[in-house]
Amino acid sequence: MKHAFFAVLFLSAFTMSAVQAQPASSIALPAPQKAGGKPVLDAVAARASAPGSGFPSNAISPEELSTLLWAASGKNRASLWTVPFAQGLEPYVDIYVAGKEGIYRYAWQDHSLKLAAGGDFRTKINPQGFAGAASHIFIFVSNKDSLKKKGGSPQHWAKWTHVATGAMTQQLYLVSDTLEIGARYAETMDVNFVRKTLDIAADEEPICVFALGKR
């Protein structure tokens, strides 16, 4: 009976641990920082990619993550965003955030994260050494549903998504520096793995990744 009792306790503890290990399906982000930091010209002068060797590996806080995502494509006033989107469209580049617990899609509508896949996939997304050291990796993926609302051609869409992604990553470089966060843009990624894991439609395009780690 004693052995049976302890077995039940062990199984109960294991089950509770497994339940606790499951990543949250949705995460409400704290309010982003919208004031302070370095003067913009100082941030531009300091803008640089963190080296791949010895990439900063300290954890980024929820508040810092919130600020980074808001800077990349969050709302900064009614129906407008922190980066330019063609013809006043809502953001047509999605940001996925890969960390230790899983991959989440950033929902700018309510400034939250929605679970896309549970598990640590950072080194599978990008095989380079800095990927495993990074606190988080942002994945930029085109969102054709948003583009189709205004019509246009696939040629326009490709240009718009790449211009927008350039603006978004530049914002991240400037804000990450003022938050003492190392940042590194990379085009290299396992596109097939990203497509399969995130269930990305055939006409959507994984564009690039952006590694981030606290200095």
To which H or E segment does residue 104 belong?
strand 102-107
Domains (range + CATH), the chain: 24-214 (3.40.109.10)
For residues 189 and 198, give the distance between their C-alpha atoms in angstroms, rounded to a whole number: 13
pTM equals 0.87
Q: Which residues partner with 118 through β-bridges?
A: 102
> Is residue 69 within 8 Å of 83, Cβ to Cβ?
no
List, for residues 189-201, the tens digit of each pLDDT value. 999 999 999 999 8
> Is residue 212 within 8 Å of 187, Cβ to Cβ?
no
List, for residues 141-174, the tens digit of each pLDDT value. 998 888 887 666 777 888 899 999 999 999 999 9
List, for residues 54-112, the tens digit of each pLDDT value. 999 999 999 999 999 999 998 888 878 899 888 878 899 999 999 999 999 999 999 99
